[in-house]
């Protein structure tokens, strides 16, 4: 069996974990302690986790976040989501082919009294927003419970190996997400009034204003005075031919497998979507030495930060704007992808199809807030706040700041004396959430003497750590706030390279003419595994947008502490290109051959409901027959009745209505009832999965009450 575990990474430390064996289809395989079943399978080269009961289609991972159910396997006789369940020594894992066999129940369990606890504030989600809020609640002495369905805190922060944007004062700009997660977690430990339940899934908000949570295998009812939903977002699905093939999955799933679980899930991938999520996922792949075959974006330009896009382009990734994906191709799993240019009406232009060999297609076409808890709490009159992506999709830096504000607002609402929340904090929050501004022409300095930074940053975004670290005060941002473009002013640069080291976009170089006017040195930040650079190497250098400038010699490679695991590579370059150098080619351009046939954008055989394998054609036929109620579509086709609780297909069914000319006020949305997450029914009777009813023991409130609640 091949081993796809990450053994080396430029940023993440790869620690030795104890290993053990589990079995897959009866064959022993190695696993590393702390791996989920999905990660252990991926690490052993297994991509197909089962076959659908309806049509036998191969199933693989999609969200890696417990939100869908495509990765179900049978572990020790029980169906489980392989992305959420840790693999154990000796565990016998089988593919889920068809419907799982329900465990045999010997008798009817006696329903124990429900364990109920009362807290002042329940926080759902231990990511950037939830952690920041819980710290403020901790400071204010509010009895708080924070629940998270993962086995560690941090949420998406724990997946982010890049340095953060924003400002150093407000949101740890210049620090890597993984390290911010650790810091917030440590800060939270100071507060005994905040209790953390990991591996705990919030299931529903009920009409009696209580929240049901599953702590491990134990069902507990939480009665909060106020609820804070910081549960983040789920990735949007996309409809195209082959969209349900194993190997097509969300960018977040990819980051989870690679950056959290240290599994190399792909050798060659293609990214669909040019927002920050797709651009960053592509960058994380490059960092780990995974080939990024290309990225396509339907808009005329990527909607993410230009500096993120430039970073990919200047390290060698081809970016296709005004292009859409036509199909993911392969018999049992992805073998290639086909894209095509689109016209102004979003129609693919025949003859522009291009295909690329790849094993993975990452879908990064946007996020939907996890807002079902907020909506139900409002409906039932439970005081509720939301923060981070669960409130509004924005950067994690904004989520942290919003969490801090919500924490204080809740403390105030609960009568704590936390003083006035500074009005400028609300403005800072808006700034951190703001969309990138217009792109301007890059300002390349004309001088050919002395030493100075070149700021390859041509779009207003909320970010200013370069101004904070410049001890000479030579870098300033224009305008009223941190969204202004950074500018080098005066002549005070001493060549300390701190700005090069801190820039989250790797968008600052330092040009030094002091030794040699004809061939200055240029310092370039670099943090990739694929191509390690040494003194004396000849490297290809590129301009900001990926244009090749030439080949130059490396004179020095340093990894100073201030660069935080990035390398500062010094090259000697002819003066005419030195100031335009922005990066070093990390990957060669790779383009596949066109398949030579046209595939429509939404075909009738494209999969809408992954759980129940219901196609666009089936749903479209019902809409055309006059059905205007999504509940009827569900009853007739089972679309929306699957294990994910309709979280994946609901937005796409709504889109199909729109495409058929039916506006939202002309159709009825599906009724949403608790539970929001699938759960073995036995837990409500105090029976853990795999346990017989007579063995069940009730968990009392006092058992889960420990820790200062
Ligand atoms: S995709 Fe899960 S119910 Fe439709």
- State the distance from the centre of ligand 1 to the C-alpha of 251, rounded, in angstroms: 19
Please tell me the distance from the alpha carbon of residue 95 to that of residue 679, in angstroms, as a whole number: 20
Query: Which atom of ligand 1 is closest in space to residue 647's alpha carbon?
Result: 2
Written as one string, the DSSP assignment of 97-149 is ESSPPPPP--SPPP-PPPEEEEEEEEEE--SHHHHHHHHHHHHTT--EEEE-S
Query: Which atom of ligand 1 is closest in space to residue 640's alpha carbon?
Result: 3
| Coil/strand/helix, residue 512 | strand
Pocket perturbation via mutation, ligand 1, pick of 640, 653, 675, 677 by most ligand atoms within 8 A of CB: 640
Pocket perturbation via mutation, ligand 1, pick of 611, 652, 654, 669 by most ligand atoms within 8 A of CB: 611
- Per-residue pLDDT reduced to its tens digit, 429-456: 999 998 888 888 888 999 999 999 999 9
Pocket perturbation via mutation, ligand 1, pick of 239, 609, 672 by most ligand atoms within 8 A of CB: 609
- State the distance from the centre of ligand 1 to the C-alpha of 708, rounded, in angstroms: 40
Cβ-Cβ contacts under 8 Å for 226 (sequence gap 6 or more):
120, 121, 122, 382, 383, 384, 385, 410, 413, 414
At 690 the pLDDT is 60
At 675 the pLDDT is 83
Whether 234 lines ligand 1, by a CB cut-off of 6 Å, is no
At 622 the pLDDT is 96
Residue with tokens 């495409």: 659
Please tell me the distance from the alpha carbon of residue 276 to that of residue 254, in angstroms, as a whole number: 15
Whether 455 lines ligand 1, by a CB cut-off of 6 Å, is no
At 682 the pLDDT is 81
Please tell me the distance from the alpha carbon of residue 51 to that of residue 49, in angstroms, as a whole number: 7
- Beta-bridged to residue 221, according to DSSP, are 116, 212
Residue 643: count other Cβ atoms within 10 Å of its Cβ: 17
Whether 610 lines ligand 1, by a CB cut-off of 6 Å, is yes
Query: Which atom of ligand 1 is closest in space to residue 639's alpha carbon?
Result: 4
Whether 649 lines ligand 1, by a CB cut-off of 6 Å, is yes
- State the distance from the centre of ligand 1 to the C-alpha of 608, rounded, in angstroms: 8
Pocket perturbation via mutation, ligand 1, pick of 648, 671, 675, 678 by most ligand atoms within 8 A of CB: 648
Joined tokens for residue 485:
């473009």
- State the distance from the centre of ligand 1 to the C-alpha of 31, rounded, in angstroms: 30
Pocket perturbation via mutation, ligand 1, pick of 81, 249, 646 by most ligand atoms within 8 A of CB: 646
- Per-residue pLDDT reduced to its tens digit, 30-55: 999 999 999 999 999 999 999 999 99
The torsion of the CA quartet 608, 379, 125, 138, rounded to 10 degrees, works out to 170
Is the Cβ–Cβ distance between 219 and 225 less than 8 Å? Answer: no
- State the distance from the centre of ligand 1 to the C-alpha of 316, rounded, in angstroms: 37
- Separation in Å, CA 156 to CA 38, 111, 131, 260, 537: 18, 37, 12, 10, 37
What's the alpha-carbon Rg for the chain, to the nearest Å?
Answer: 26
Query: Which atom of ligand 1 is closest in space to residue 642's alpha carbon?
Result: 3
Residues with pLDDT less than 70, the chain: 1, 105, 529-531, 589-603, 688-709
Cβ-Cβ contacts under 8 Å for 379 (sequence gap 6 or more):
none
Q: Where are the alpha helices (DSSP H) in 535-674?
A: 575-578, 616-624, 630-637, 650-659
At 602 the pLDDT is 47
The bridge status of strand 486-488 relative to strand 475-477 is antiparallel
Please tell me the distance from the alpha carbon of residue 583 to that of residue 545, in angstroms, as a whole number: 9
- Beta-bridged to residue 439, according to DSSP, are 459
Is the Cβ–Cβ distance between 464 and 167 less than 8 Å? Answer: yes
Is the Cβ–Cβ distance between 355 and 592 less than 8 Å? Answer: yes
Pocket perturbation via mutation, ligand 1, pick of 239, 363, 607, 647 by most ligand atoms within 8 A of CB: 647
At 342 the pLDDT is 93
- State the distance from the centre of ligand 1 to the C-alpha of 165, rounded, in angstroms: 35
Look over the chain and give the mean of its residue pLDDT values, rounded to a whole number.
89
Whether 640 lines ligand 1, by a CB cut-off of 6 Å, is yes
At 491 the pLDDT is 87
Please tell me the distance from the alpha carbon of residue 454 to that of residue 511, in angstroms, as a whole number: 7
Q: Where are the alpha helices (DSSP H) in 315-395?
A: 372-380
Is the Cβ–Cβ distance between 86 and 35 less than 8 Å? Answer: yes
Whether 630 lines ligand 1, by a CB cut-off of 6 Å, is no
Cβ-Cβ contacts under 8 Å for 405 (sequence gap 6 or more):
387, 421, 425, 426, 429
Whether 571 lines ligand 1, by a CB cut-off of 6 Å, is no
Whether 317 lines ligand 1, by a CB cut-off of 6 Å, is no
Closest C-alpha residue for ligand 1 atom 1:
609
pTM over the 0.75 mark: yes
Whether 646 lines ligand 1, by a CB cut-off of 6 Å, is yes
- State the distance from the centre of ligand 1 to the C-alpha of 358, rounded, in angstroms: 27
Whether 579 lines ligand 1, by a CB cut-off of 6 Å, is no
Query: Which atom of ligand 1 is closest in space to residue 646's alpha carbon?
Result: 3
């Amino acid at each position: 069996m091949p081993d796809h575990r990450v053994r080396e990474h430029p940023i993440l430390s790869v620690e030795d974990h104890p290993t053990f064996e589990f079995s897959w289809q009866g064959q022993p395989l190695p696993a590393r302690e702390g791996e989920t079943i999905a990660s252990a399978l991926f690490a052993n080269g297994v991509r197909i986790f089962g076959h659908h009961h309806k049509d036998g289609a191969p199933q693989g991972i999609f969200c890696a976040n417990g939100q869908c159910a495509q990765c179900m396997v049978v572990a020790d006789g029980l169906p489980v989501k392989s992305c959420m369940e840790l693999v154990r020594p000796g565990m016998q894992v089988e593919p889920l082919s068809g419907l799982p066999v329900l465990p045999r129940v010997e008798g009817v369990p006696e329903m124990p009294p429900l364990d109920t606890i009362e807290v002042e504030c329940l926080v759902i989600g231990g990511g950037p927003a939830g952690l920041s809020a819980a710290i403020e609640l901790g400071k204010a002495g509010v009895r708080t419970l924070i629940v998270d369905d993962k086995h560690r805190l941090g949420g998406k922060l724990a997946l982010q190996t890049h340095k953060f944007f924003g400002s150093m004062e407000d949101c740890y700009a210049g620090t890597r997400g993984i390290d911010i997660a650790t810091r917030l977690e440590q800060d939270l430990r100071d507060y005994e009034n905040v209790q953390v339940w990991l591996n705990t899934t919030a299931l529903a908000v009920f009409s009696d204003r209580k929240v049901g949570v599953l702590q491990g295998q134990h069902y507990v009812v939480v009665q909060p005075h106020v609820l804070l939903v910081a549960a983040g977002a789920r990735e949007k699905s996309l409809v195209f031919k082959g969209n349900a093939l194993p190997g097509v999955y969300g960018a977040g799933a990819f980051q989870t497998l690679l950056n959290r679980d240290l599994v190399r899930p792909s050798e060659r991938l293609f990214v669909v979507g040019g927002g920050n999520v797709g651009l960053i996922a592509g960058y994380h792949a490059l960092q780990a030495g995974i080939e990024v075959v290309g990225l396509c974006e339907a808009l005329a330009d990527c909607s993410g930060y230009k500096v993120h896009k430039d970073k990919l382009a200047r390290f060698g990734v081809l970016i296709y704007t005004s292009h859409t994906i036509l199909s993911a191709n392969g018999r049992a799993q992805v073998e290639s992808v086909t894209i095509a240019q689109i016209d102004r009406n979003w129609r693919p232009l025949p003859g522009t199809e291009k295909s690329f060999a790849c094993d993975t297609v990452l879908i990064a076409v946007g996020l939907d807030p996890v807002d079902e808890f907020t909506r139900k709490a409002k409906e039932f009159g439970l005081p509720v706040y939301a923060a981070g992506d669960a409130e509004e999709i924005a950067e994690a830096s904004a989520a942290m700041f919003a969490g801090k504000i919500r924490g204080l607002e809740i403390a105030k609402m609960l009568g704590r004396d936390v003083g006035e929340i500074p009005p400028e904090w609300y403005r800072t929050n808006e700034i951190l959430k703001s969309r990138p501004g217009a792109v301007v022409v890059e300002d390349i300095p004309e001088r050919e003497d002395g030493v100075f930074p070149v700021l390859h940053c041509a779009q207003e975004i909320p970010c200013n750590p370069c101004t904070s670290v410049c001890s000479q005060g030579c870098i300033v941002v224009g305008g009223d706030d941190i969204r202004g473009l950074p500018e080098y002013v005066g002549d005070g640069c001493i060549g300390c390279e701190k700005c090069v080291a801190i820039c989250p976009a790797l968008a600052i170089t330092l040009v030094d003419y002091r030794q040699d006017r004809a061939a200055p040195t240029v310092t370039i930040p670099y943090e990739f595994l694929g191509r390690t650079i040494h003194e004396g190497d000849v490297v290809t250098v590129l301009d900001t947008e990926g244009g090749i400038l030439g080949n130059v010699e490396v004179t020095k490679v340093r990894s100073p502490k201030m660069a935080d695991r990035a390398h500062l590579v010094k090259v000697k370059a002819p003066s005419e290109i030195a100031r335009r150098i922005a990066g070093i080619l990390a990957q060669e351009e790779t383009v596949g051959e066109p398949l030579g046939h046209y595939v429509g954008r939404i075909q009738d055989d494209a999969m809408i409901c992954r759980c129940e394998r219901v196609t666009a054609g089936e749903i479209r036929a019902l809409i055309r027959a006059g059905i205007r109620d999504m509940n009827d579509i569900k009853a007739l086709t089972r679309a929306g009745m699957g294990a994910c609780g309709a979280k994946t297909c609901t937005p796409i069914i709504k889109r199909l209505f729109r495409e058929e000319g039916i506006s939202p006020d002309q159709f009825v949305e599906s009724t949403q009832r608790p539970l929001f997450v699938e759960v073995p029914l036995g837990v409500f009777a105090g029976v853990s999965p795999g346990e017989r009813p007579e063995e069940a023991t009730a968990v009392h409130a006092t058992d889960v009450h420990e820790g200062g609640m």
